[in-house]
Chains A and B, each alone.
Chain A
């Protein structure tokens, strides 16, 4: 039953977004897909019937003015919205064909597969090592050697290793903002997720740190499916393969980044990317 829904879901999304999807339809490999997905905060309809999909190994950017529901939508992909009491969802989000809102789904397992990096760097008040090892330890990895390896790998991939290798056991809060954010990325990578959600990861950082993170995103995109919410249209243009434009809870336009920025189909998208509002 579930599989059927998911298969249907795949087909519909493929059909729906046919226009926006790169030339060869056989290459399509959808990791996450949303269909008729809505989010309500109490009575407020925050995300309205969104249908979109995220392709494996690609960076998908979500842009839009403040309060348009883009962060809300992103958080729904690993069910972080569960932490908000008044939040309610309808419709479907599927991860590899499995409905993540199924009542029997293990949220903990979902979040291990869908990692998240938040707007503000939020390392735990622990050592750098413990921060990165937090996720693996939860999974039951306790061997010293194994942990060392995971921590080093994650930090290397987050391009932080060289800066912190001598002070792995000092407090993470002593790092600079940019370093902290990269540490958060390393922490998310340590549990080897399939999808990495980034909720405006650079909004609290200076331009230099921002560019480092952007480089990092480019490097990571070969291995991970990345969804990034950003306010910064240049950033979206620089780092993403696909871009979705949200406005007042609606998905207005979704397509290849180059196309969307050079040749938007909708009036609203055009207005937004040319800076007429937002």
Chain B
């Protein structure tokens, strides 16, 4: 090979290595940046007064005059909105009722007098005739009532009384149909109609009048539904308007508005300025539709409310930057929508520590056995194979094993418990610990063994006084890295230890109680949570915490190794 080619080859190898490095570091950056940025967002964020209210009322935090004043100011800013809402909802229905009642009696009178034309139509039997009859029916008989209804609806919308009118209509629906039935029956008797002619007449009423009445009522109800949706949005944003409303609700999320400004803006955009209402489509099926509420409520009092909310959201929530260290030390409330992740952190700690307490001594002893005592033979070969196989078993299988063997067969606890989870995790990491510790023991120079033996140390003394201390740094590295793995494993604790909600456990409870733990709760809160969008900050916060724990452990391993090696060397 010529010198030239060799040089090119050397360079291409370095180039490939650099490429791999760049790709890896980019991946790390792309992967870690959003986690770090969003994770920090769980602790440092723009909080609203609702956040402070929550902390004061539920976690007994003391707050300064300044905060109390801020809350008072926010309440003052909300008052005009609540007044608008109260005015809108009060809506007077008596006038409409009177007008429409009038309409009914006039229409019935018309049916009495103008029934001849209708009767003529009844003798035809074609479908087309029926349609014409229905049109005639409403034109002649119910025309005035329907006009009245139209006018009333327009008026009601303009003054924001759709709800009141809809209530009247709902009450009248039965009334009209009762009255109409009676009138039509009477008519039929008078004109001596056959049974089929009577039923045709009834159908004409249904097609011509009742449908229109229903449609009008539906429209009014749409108004009503839309307003209710807006009202819900406002409650979601600001919390219940009164103390009474607050007590009515059970869930924490219904008792407080948005604690984070970013979420508050989402609510404003997605639950107030656009809303979804259920409407009947052409086929009569109910479908949910998203509508622009400002457009929908154009020229109504609701429009004013919407504009007020849009313009005064800052005044009503008083957003300000805050650092919430309680994220690490507070219990979660209402499915983690409020509060922190303390039980998960503690649970992870219990599980990891428990696993290490069991696995580390066992692993070290087994490693010493394999490296120092075991004579290579059939049984040791089988043992080694077992360790190797165990290291390759998928972690979910360990989880199932923990459930079926530890809990169902051995009954280490009645149900899931930290103890069962810790044992499962210990079994999971045991092979790794054995292997890394065995490597560490084997890496101790043979000359140490000889020197110890030469000075009259028995095997055991030699191991304790020379080999273990020398192997300790690499052993610790392996053990700490396994610890990181135990902290991050999800599958083994699903069946044995993890629960999605729960308070922080006291030490004596770990033998019988399950615990929340970071890895499992990350999964849970990302995929099983009913409001996963609302707790994104918690998701990222948990991921960041877990990554920090694992990276800190790995970093500790590196530092310990470096320091102890330095100490051993000079």
Contact = CB atoms under 8 A, between A and B. Distances in A.
B454 A115 contact: yes
Interface in B67-97: none
B455 A187 contact: yes
Interface string B486-517: 00000000000000000000000000000000
A124 B448 contact: yes
A224 interface: no
Nearest to A108: B456
Given A122-B445, A124-B466, A125-B469, A184 B451 contact: yes
Interface string B453-489: 1111110010001100110000000000000000000
Nearest to A171: B570
A174 interface: yes
A122 B456 contact: no
B469 A83 contact: no
B469 A135 contact: no
A120 B447 contact: yes
A111 B454 contact: yes
Nearest to B447: A122
Nearest to A78: B454
Contacts of B453: 80, 82-83, 111
Interface string A64-81: 000000000000001010
A254 interface: no
A32 B314 CA distance: 98
A217 B450 CA distance: 21
A196 B325 CA distance: 67
B375 interface: yes
Contacts of B445: 122
B450 A80 contact: yes
B457 A173 contact: no
A138 B455 contact: yes
A240 B447 CA distance: 26
A188 B452 CA distance: 10
Given A83-B450, A118-B450, A125 B456 contact: no
Contacts of A83: 449-450, 453
B6 interface: no
B455 A85 contact: no
Contacts of A122: 445, 447-448, 450-451
B455 A191 contact: yes
B457 A138 contact: yes
Contacts of B457: 108, 134, 138
A111 B448 CA distance: 15
Contact of A138 (B450, B461, B469, B570): B461
A134 B455 contact: yes
B14 to A, nearest CB: 35
Contacts of B567: 171
Interface in A180-201: 184, 187-188, 191
A109 interface: yes
Nearest to B465: A134
A124 B569 CA distance: 10
Given A85-B375, A108-B456, A118 B451 contact: yes
B568 A111 contact: no
Interface string B332-352: 000000000000000000000
B447 A135 contact: no
A171 B569 CA distance: 7
A187 B448 CA distance: 13
Contacts of A82: 453
Contact of A173 (B454, B455, B570): B570
A85 B375 CA distance: 9
A116 interface: yes
A227 to B, nearest CB: 13
Interface string B552-569: 000000000000000111
Interface string A93-117: 0000000000000001101100110
A139 B449 contact: no
A170 B568 CA distance: 10
Contact of B454 (A80, A139, A170, A174): A80
Nearest to B462: A138
Chain A CB within 10 A, most for which of B447, B451, B568: B451
A124 B452 CA distance: 9
Contacts of A109: 456
Nearest to B458: A108
Contacts of A120: 447
A6 B470 CA distance: 42
Contact of A171 (B448, B461, B470, B568): B568
The CB with the most chain B CB atoms within 10 A, among A82, A122, A173, is that of A122
A116 B455 CA distance: 8
Contacts of B452: 124, 134
B472 to A, nearest CB: 10
A78 B453 CA distance: 10
A138 B470 CA distance: 18
B570 A116 contact: no
A55 B295 CA distance: 115
A156 B567 CA distance: 26
Given A83-B449, A85-B375, A135 B570 contact: no
A40 B114 CA distance: 132
Contacts of A126: 469
Interface in B529-570: 567-570
Given A171-B569, A174-B570, A118 B466 contact: no
Contacts of B569: 125, 171, 173-174
A125 B454 contact: no
B455 A111 contact: yes
Contacts of B469: 125-126
B455 A118 contact: no
Nearest to A190: B455
Report which residue of B445, B454, B461, B469 has the largest number of chain A beta carbons within 10 angstroms of its beta carbon: B454
A173 B568 contact: yes
Given A125-B568, A174-B570, A112 B448 contact: no
A109 to B, nearest CB: 7
A71 B450 CA distance: 14
Contacts of B458: 108
A169 to B, nearest CB: 12
Interface in B411-457: 445, 447-457
A135 B449 CA distance: 13
Contacts of A108: 456-458
B470 A112 contact: no
A229 to B, nearest CB: 14
Interface in B116-152: none
A139 B456 contact: yes
Q: A82, A138, A173 — which one has the most chain B CB atoms within 10 A of its CB?
A: A138
A112 to B, nearest CB: 4
Contacts of A85: 375
Contacts of A134: 452, 455, 457, 465
A135 B466 CA distance: 12
Interface string B157-195: 000000000000000000000000000000000000000
Contacts of A112: 455-456
Interface string A144-187: 00000000000000000000000000110110000000001001
10 contacts: A78-B454, A80-B450, A108-B458, A112-B455, A115-B455, A118-B454, A124-B448, A125-B469, A187-B455, A188-B454
Given A111-B456, A139-B456, A184-B451, 5 more contacts: A108-B457, A112-B456, A116-B450, A124-B448, A124-B470
Interface of B: 375, 445, 447-458, 461, 465-466, 469-470, 567-570
Closest 4 CB pairs between A and B?
A122-B447, A125-B568, A116-B454, A174-B570
